[in-house]
Structure 1
Amino acid sequence: MHPKTLIIAEAGVNHNGDRARALALVGAAAKAGADVVKFQSFRADRLATVAATKATYQQVTTGEAQTQLDMLRGLELSADDEEQIAAACAASGITYMSTPFDAESATHLVHRVGVSSLKVGSGDLTNAPLLLHLARFRLPIILSTGMGTLAEVEQALGVIAFGYFRDATARPEPAAFANLLLDRATWTKLRAKVTLLHCTTEYPADPRSINLRAMVTLREAFGLPVGFSDHSRGIHIASAAVALGATVIEKHLTLDRNLPGPDHRASIEPDELEAMIAAIRDIEAALGDGRKVPAPEEIPNRAVARRSLIALRAVLAGERFTEDNLGIKRPGNGVPPIEYWSYLGKTAGRDYAANEAIEP
């Protein structure tokens, strides 16, 4: 059977800075059957300067007058908010996760909130100091790779490996990161700790920009588990990713796509999340174990759908079977058709009526 895909409902900043809405997103994700509900942990002043511009999609969804910094300030959750949301997740039976955008937020998530893994957003694929800080917690990491190249992913993995497997006295530098990846044992250890998510960093992402086969490329290049962070409209592309081997699916969740904010329009609503999860679970079941053998349900249908050797007309005992009197028809519970040529020229052991099955 295909291993169960981890479904992450990406609440992100779709709470619009409102704790009550964040808690409602937790409830919606849990009810839909998601395994994880993920938020974002940041302080706007640590993340952006006043000179940082909004992405085009953010200008479309939130207007051009407001700066990115001001937009981010309105989307923050406090440390207390995060702890309350994590408690609500525990009560609802769903795992709390958050993407830290700075070292202080990450430390709070690990030491105060008690997260069991860390998610890195695509924008920090090249943020080596943050990657090193996160890896030094020795927790599993899910790394999004949007906007990245294979070389950048490899470089990020070198930094993460250094954080995992070297103590704090070791000097971090590019040569040390690269050298660590030359050791096969490093990759064995990384395989148990890191999952790579293919991603297209555009909201919403046009299907032509998604290049889902790049997820397979990541798996083949690095030998690590892979998944898909889906920013497309609808649920069909995420479902296709599971068929291609995704072990994790991340999808933005909103309570209402018409709410103000940068990510709502590229998100799915709770009923769509439920439908996506149902589709993924069906796909997992359908993938099976890959062995080409009949399904148990097929066995009774063999006799119905397959054929056996029969007499095309009356055949007398001692008469030879020929192409004129030996045929193949249903049901398939007699001599199989593969024996047809071996029966040609044989003599009938008894009389056969037309359409009667030939005995072995």
Structure 2
Amino acid sequence: MSSAPEAPATATVRIGDSEIGPGEPVYVIGEIGINHNGDVDIARRLINIAADAGCQAVKFQKRTPEICVPLDQQGKIRQTPWGEMTYLEYKHRVEFGADEYGQIAKYAADRGIDWFASPWDVPSVEFLERFDVVTHKVASASITDRELLRALAATGKPIILSTGMSTLEEIDEAVEILGTDGLVILHATSTYPLPAEEANLRTITTLQERYGVPVGYSGHERGLQISLAAVTMGAVMVERHITLDRTMWGSDHAASLEPTGLEHLVRDIRIIEQALGDGEKRVFPGEVEPRARLRRVTP
């Protein structure tokens, strides 16, 4: 598909109890992903960190390993904290099932925070629907998986579409399948960790103008500056990986935020929201006295 779809006027999208879009509070997602390392207690601690920092949601990843792990990779040996095992065995070791997600759903509800996941295959969509998640997230790696996109569209749930390592034509086709009603698009670059020169934050504006849906940012950088800059560029949703400790074993920990970093991210996003204002130039109350005292008017 080479031509852009006709962009409708941007509307808000409701996820749980939150409205996502221009003029609404930035929806901050702490992505737990697989940083729980297959341990429900670590997942609970990460939910606590996100809730305490003021995030509105946490996100996990859900896979059916036999579908998602290529056949030529399944038997490869991997060294893990639990000993030597095949890559398929390792993926099963860090995958939560119904019992674990039942505990997660209850704990997130108790903490007053949304939870959902990126399903990487159709059975995982069906699995997550059993928990009536508030939304589904399309991982950047899945944007060309048409079967998965059709299954997600059929749920009728709001969809968050991440766009790392994608062309505009690939995004166009995904949007055509998903539709724009209830869609939030996230600008992302799938480099871990993300160097500043690959962030390309002006793409946020490109996506807003092309699709007319709320646009956010999914970041994989170290530090906070790029995510905060994304908010000033109009990102209405920010997603960052979170961890107990960046030195923990696993592929995503190094590009994740530790608890203090997440607290600072949410704090600074809320300050930026206030600072952006409405764009109307006027004299503010704090300027009245200095204006009377300092302003000279000459003919």
SS across alignment from 1:299? helix
Task: Confirm or deny: 8 A CA contact 1:8 1:34 kept in the other structure.
Answer: yes
* Matched-pair contact (CA < 8 Å) for 1:2–1:288: no
1:83 counterpart residue number = 102
Is the CA contact (8 Å cut-off) linking 1:50 and 1:69 kept in structure 2?
no
CA separation of 1:43 and 1:228: change in aligned 2, threshold 3 A: same
What letter is aligned with 1:5?
V
TM-score (norm 2): 0.86
Where in structure 2 are the equivalents of 1:52-63 lying within 5 Å? 52=73
The residue aligned with 1:291 is 280
Structure 2: how far apart are the matches of 1:253 and 1:231?
Answer: 10
In structure 2, list runs of 5 or more residues that go unmatched.
1-21
The alpha-carbon deviation at position 71 of structure 1 amounts to: 4.0
Report the TM-score, using the length of structure 1 for normalisation: 0.72
Q: Percent identity?
A: 41
Q: Per-residue displacement from partner, 1:178-210 (whole Å, max 9, x unpaired)? A: xxxxxxxxxxxx2x4101101111211111111
Greater Rg, structure 1 or structure 2? 1
Deviation of 1:70 (Å): 4.4
Kindly state the Cα deviation for residue 300 of structure 1 after the two structures are TM-superposed.
Answer: 2.2
The answer to whether the 8 A contact 1:50-1:68 is kept is no
- 1:306 aligns with 295
The residue that corresponds to 1:164 in the other structure is none
Distance 1:304 1:125 in 2: 59
Cross-structure match for 1:324:
none
Q: Which has the higher strand share?
A: 2
- Could you tell me which amino acid in structure 2 is paired with residue 262 of structure 1? S
Shift of 1:68: 5.0
The residue aligned with 2:117 is 98
Post-superposition shift, 1:101? 1.0
**Which ranges of 4 or more aligned residues in structure 1 deviate by more than 4 Å?**
65-68
| Runs of 5+ unmatched residues, structure 1 | 54-58, 162-189, 308-335, 341-360
Q: Using the alignment, how far apart are the partners of 2:155 and 2:275 within structure 1? A: 37
Q: 1:242 to 1:46 in 2, by over 3 A?
A: same
Alignment partner for residue 151 of structure 2, among 107, 121, 133? 133
The answer as to 2:168 corresponding to 1:150 is: yes
Residue 267 (str. 1) matches residue 256 (str. 2): yes
Distance 1:221 1:69 in 2: 40
Deviations 1:62-105 (A, max 9, x none): 9xx97654442332111211121011000001111111111121
Q: CA deviation at 1:268?
A: 0.6
Go from structure 1 to structure 2 and tell me whether the alpha carbon gap of 1:267 and 1:291 turns closer, same or farther (over 3 Å shift). same
1:219 is matched with: 208
* Aligned-partner residue type, residue 129 of structure 1: E
User: Is residue 197–residue 228 contact of structure 1 (8 Å, CA) maintained in 2?
Assistant: yes
Cα RMSD, aligned residues only: 1.9
* Structure 2 residue aligned with 1:29: 50
| Paired positions, count | 272
1-structure distance, mates of 2:247, 2:188 = 24
Aligned counterpart, 1:3: 24
